[in-house]
Amino acid sequence: MMGKPDKALPTGWTTSPREALRVTNTGPIAQYDAASTPGYTGDKQAGTAALIERGAHLADLQEMLFANGRSRGHRSVLLVVQGMDTAGKGGIVRHVGGLVDPQGLAITGFGKPTPEELTHDFLWRIHRALPPAGKIGIFDRSHYEDVLPVRVHNLVPERVWSQRYDLITQFEREVVAAGTTVLKVALVVSREKQKQRLIDRLNDPTKYWKFDPSDVEERGFWEDYLEAYQTIFDRTDGDHAPWYLIGADRKWFSRLAVCELLIDALEGLNLGWPAATFDVEVERARVAAL
Amino acid sequence: MMGKPDKALPTGWTTSPREALRVTNTGPIAQYDAASTPGYTGDKQAGTAALIERGAHLADLQEMLFANGRSRGHRSVLLVVQGMDTAGKGGIVRHVGGLVDPQGLAITGFGKPTPEELTHDFLWRIHRALPPAGKIGIFDRSHYEDVLPVRVHNLVPERVWSQRYDLITQFEREVVAAGTTVLKVALVVSREKQKQRLIDRLNDPTKYWKFDPSDVEERGFWEDYLEAYQTIFDRTDGDHAPWYLIGADRKWFSRLAVCELLIDALEGLNLGWPAATFDVEVERARVAAL
């Protein structure tokens, strides 16, 4: 699951992103500095350049995963992205997902459940969206919504949502057992930065579509959300499906951090290029003859 | 459907890509020069630079389409990509699709039909893969496979495949009527270039997975494929769902050409940014108060 422990650190990092950002090391979310860059010493300019350079490496690893998927390999990767409004979930999908071949991605955004989804168990729509072999799945929101707004607003009774932590852990263990490396990132935005980003959206007509008046109401439940997030970390973090806490006030950092975590996950698969399933010399001769 | 006729041409083009590459203007595929760059005067360096610059414009248009999809807009775009082996279909998906936010793409690769797919009408799996509102769908192969290898190798009787041209036209008219702009590109590779690319794959262990011995056999049916393609153009091209013939010996050109055709399709939607569905001043005050 984990990469090799003695692997060289990426440039600019003093601690591996996997160690520096793991929720078991960052302390509680309520005290987290959303502008911090744990483990990373570079500034915005260095981090932006690093994303391009490391993105090329990520693209190579993704192609190797894809090649294995085409060659009866059974491995895949699932990146779960959670975070409060304006934390930049969509930006992660666009700017980190955008670093690799889009054919190799299986992106799913989970909104309010549809009437059909509501007739099923809360994990039903999640199962259907899992990445097939060879792909990197990205969930923009996920089954964790069922213990976040659902819990904060009592959309189901406590006896229902309180069982979900164990159900989620069991589900994720099954997913991992089937060959999928799971990593989960929670993007942390500060109250002040969120306010600024909401105002930015209201000052730019090309961003009106991103604004939802209910986002303002959700700000009134800030402490409840922090508590709900902390419970998630306490109940569903594990080496099989680790949670990473990433400050999102500096978008360049959150993107670089997620890129590094994906690289680490892909390197941890220890894949190689698939061997030829044909006789190379014979095929060379056949092509040359035509 | 079509963009404004008096629109300025993109830099380097003497004829709009939509005119220069349309099958009704290019002549038959059997005489097509796969290394030609109809309508475009730039060289590889200029074309590569243009792809980056125009790609940023494509990304803006894609975001606007996506925003409209989120705001009850019903428009979408479908790009169908066909071409013989090594023509670079995957490269189009990667390098043109890769120019935009991957969240806005709905990419489907159609391989040999599964047993379940074979129990249904040939358009069943196609319907299911159509892009939802706000997205750009990309088909890497498509329903046209059912009149290409299926016809060349007589996988179904002629009385079955010969009916499919009309069924496809009827299907595509329905798709267009539902709000989807359809454009279809056929990538044309020369026999010599295909040979070179197959040999390249056999000389590079990181590319073995892209090689399929059956590709060599398919080279023996070259003339049959040209005839099958020509029939497709003759029977299924129309202003509602035009076919474009794009030389693929120069990959930089085929990518630029597809990018320009997508830009043209998106500009033809004449979209704007969605209006606010809330009172902007009221919301500004609410955010400021929290």
Kindly report the number of other CB atoms within 10 A of residue A270's CB atom.
9
* CA-based nearest residue in chain A for residue B97: A102
Q: What is the pLDDT of residue B6?
A: 59
Query: How sure is the predictor about B1, in pLDDT bands with cuts at 50, 70 and 90?
Result: very low
Domains of chain B, first to last: 21-255 (3.40.50.300)
pLDDT per residue over A224-258, tens digit each?
A: 999 999 999 999 999 999 999 999 999 999 999 99
Residue A282 and residue A102: Cα distance in Å, rounded?
34
Stretch B75-102: mean pLDDT, rounded? 97
Contacts of B124-132 spanning 24+ positions with Cβ under 8 A: B126/B171, B130/B76, B130/B78, B130/B106, B130/B175, B130/B180, B131/B76, B131/B77, B131/B78, B131/B106, B131/B180, B132/B69, B132/B76, B132/B106
Query: How sure is the predictor about A6, in pLDDT bands with cuts at 50, 70 and 90?
Result: low
**Chain B partners within 8 Å of A284 (Cβ):** 199, 202
Contact in structure between B248 and B83 (CB atoms under 8 Å): yes
pLDDT per residue over A123-179, tens digit each?
A: 999 999 999 999 999 999 999 999 999 999 999 999 999 999 999 999 999 999 999
Residue A149 and residue A153: Cα distance in Å, rounded?
6
pLDDT per residue over B126-185, tens digit each?
A: 999 999 999 999 999 999 999 999 999 999 999 999 999 999 999 999 999 999 999 999
Residue B3 has pLDDT above 50, yes or no: no
Q: What is the pLDDT of residue A7?
A: 76
Residue A93 and residue A153: Cα distance in Å, rounded?
27
| Residue from the list B70, B94, B198 with its beta carbon closest to the beta carbon of A101 | B94
Q: Residues of A numbered 248-277 whose beta carbons fall under 8 angstroms of chain B's beta carbons: which are they?
A: 273-277
Contacts of A284 (CB under 8 A, 6+ apart): B199, B202
Q: What is the pLDDT of residue A290?
A: 84
Contact in structure between A146 and A164 (CB atoms under 8 Å): yes
Stretch A13-23: mean pLDDT, rounded? 98
Q: What is the pLDDT of residue B290?
A: 84
Both tokens of residue B63? 């975001």
User: Buried (b) or exposed (e) across A136-155, using 16+ Cβ within 10 A?
Assistant: bbbbbbbbbbbbbbbbbeee
Residue B108 has pLDDT above 90, yes or no: yes
- Mean pLDDT (chain A, rounded): 96
Residue A102 has pLDDT above 70, yes or no: yes
List for chain B the helix, strand, coil content (%; round to 5): 55, 10, 35
Residue B65 and residue B76: Cα distance in Å, rounded?
7
pLDDT per residue over A167-211, tens digit each?
A: 999 999 999 999 999 999 999 999 999 999 999 999 999 999 999
Cα of B22 to nearest chain A Cα, Å: 27
| Residue from the list A105, A216, A287 with its beta carbon closest to the beta carbon of B199 | A287
DSSP code per residue over B117-134: HHTS-TTHHHHHTPPPTT
Q: What is the pLDDT of residue A287?
A: 95
Contact in structure between B97 and B76 (CB atoms under 8 Å): no
